[in-house]
Amino acid sequence: MSDIKESLLARIANREARIGVIGLGYVGLPLVVEFAHGGFKSTGFEVDLRKAEAINRGESYIPDVPGSQVAELVRKGNLGATTDFTQLAEQDIIIICVPTPLRKTKDPDVSYILSAADRIISTLKRGQLIILESTTYPGTTDEVLRPIFDETGLQIDADYFLAFSPERVDPGNPNFNTKNIPKVVGGITTASSLVATAAYATIVDHVHRTSSARVAETCKLLENTFRAVNIGLVNELAQLCHELDIDTWEVITAAATKPFGFMPFYPGPGIGGHCIPLDPHYLSWKARMHGFEARFISLAEEVNSRMPEHVVGLVTGGLNRHRKAVNGSKILVMGVAYKRDIDDMRESPALAIVESLQELGAEVSFHDPYVTTIHLEGADRHLQGIPLTDAVVEAADCVVIVTDHSNIDYGHLVAKAQLVVDTRNTTRKLKGGDLDAKVIRL
Ligand code: SAJ
């Protein structure tokens, strides 16, 4: 066993290894806290001084990370944060948790990864383990990162270790957290896999080692492409069922009684968030680079991205039935966040729905208990949310439920509304009255 591997494994085992996490967002902060909680002296590296200062004050800005836990770990000296990246030199293990967005062309943007790598190589030293957690295309770790590190003259295994481990943080999930979500880990080499696995095994209940970083990178993309494609399937089914006058939700509920070989997904107004709409494009981009067309990914994107248009069609049809034009109608959008009970607007389909209705001449307002302002296409165009009152519901020619936040009384909303387009099946549980005449479901 090489001396640096033996030494690192020993330092991991006795908790002497220093842990550095680059990027303290919804992935990096819980991770660095988990390592600090596990007894490692852990340092968060951030470009945003406000985040570093908040942590050093013992505060948390991520809802899933209790401020009290941060304060306790900082007080004990196990946790700190800095914008001084030269301190990377003091770390034994460096984990990269930076964003991997898409460019406007829907091509991968790995600039944040490259920036983190640049900072690491300026202090890269013998014996360090670097792990990439950011979701990225297969080959990033071995084709992009490894050459950058090799250029320093240090060599894999002889001088440093390199691995990939996909993040699986699910913000707001009360049942799954950094500790109990199985961790997939794949090293550039067997030795890299071994040390990376040993590091995570100190804080995660179950570590699954793959034979390479590429397998681990592809595993993550399969997980989220699986969701995007299956959501696309049910969104297409919803459009077909609408044509056939069949209740899509009843069909899915019935199919879900199958105890094996089926997993329910549900139609919606489109897909939002920082993962599902973006991650599959990392896989299809890599495929294109190899002359391979990932048709399921592009088809899912086509179906999912057209759902806002389908919702606007339901609104238009509903108003038409009331002998009203969209143009000049008052439309109240209920819920704009990309999914229920959060305030995250990233890629939210509500934005496309609001913009389309405005383009058709509707007077659009929105209420969302978690979101006060939305920013629309075009320079400095934004819309303030309004308070939810009986008056605004009664005055609306159509109420569109786009995000089904749990803290809304949908029974009362429907009772006061003239027309409701329900894209989340929230009105399913309501009984009686003139529901069928008043409510249109996706
Ligand atoms: N959506 C549907 N129909 C569905 C499920 C989701 O339309 O049946 C929509 C949601 O409304 C949302 C978008 O798709 O707009 C994404 O929803 P999501 O439930 O996948 O939530 P995310 O984006 O928070 O996905 C995260 C992912 N976690 C990570 O990448 C670490 C995903 O892998 C998780 O499976 C997902 O959380 C989860 O299960 O909550």
Q: DSSP secondary-structure letter at 274?
A: S
Nearest partner of 385 among 422, 441, 315, 337, judged by Cα:
337
pLDDT at residue number 57: 97
pLDDT at residue number 430: 84
Residue 268 parent element (H or E): none
pLDDT class of 63 with cuts at 50, 70, 90: confident
Q: Is 168 in the pocket of ligand 1 (CB under 6 A)?
A: yes
Structure-token pair, residue 399: 């109420």
Q: Is 266 in the pocket of ligand 1 (CB under 6 A)?
A: yes
Please provide the DSSP assignment of 317-371 as one string.
Answer: HHHHHTT--STT-EEEEE--SSSTT----TT-HHHHHHHHHHHTT-EEEEE-TT-
Nearest CA to ligand 1 atom 36: 170
Nearest partner of 102 among 337, 263, 274, judged by Cα:
274
Residue 245 parent element (H or E): none
The model's pTM? 0.93
Q: Is 219 a catalytic residue?
A: no
Nearest atom, ligand 1, residue 272 CA: 15
pLDDT, tens digit, 9 for 90 and up, residues 163-221: 999 999 887 788 999 999 999 999 999 999 999 999 999 999 999 999 999 999 999 99
Pairwise CA distance, residues 395 & 321, whole Å: 17
Nearest atom, ligand 1, residue 273 CA: 23
**What is the mean pLDDT of the segment spanning 314-323?**
96
Residue 228 CA to ligand 1 centre (angstroms): 8
Architecture of domain 233-441: 3-Layer(aba) Sandwich (3.40)
Pairwise CA distance, residues 370 & 354, whole Å: 17
Residue 274 CA to ligand 1 centre (angstroms): 9
Q: Is 416 in the pocket of ligand 1 (CB under 6 A)?
A: no
Nearest CA to ligand 1 atom 29: 168
Architecture of domain 2-211: 3-Layer(aba) Sandwich (3.40)
- Given a cut of 80, whether residue 379 has pLDDT beyond it is no
Q: Is 273 in the pocket of ligand 1 (CB under 6 A)?
A: yes
pLDDT at residue number 378: 75
Judge whether 2-211 and 233-441 match in fold. yes
pLDDT, tens digit, 9 for 90 and up, residues 17-26: 999 999 999 9
pLDDT, tens digit, 9 for 90 and up, residues 281-300: 999 999 999 999 999 999 99
Domain ranges within the chain, ordered by starting residue? 2-211, 233-441
pLDDT at residue number 432: 66
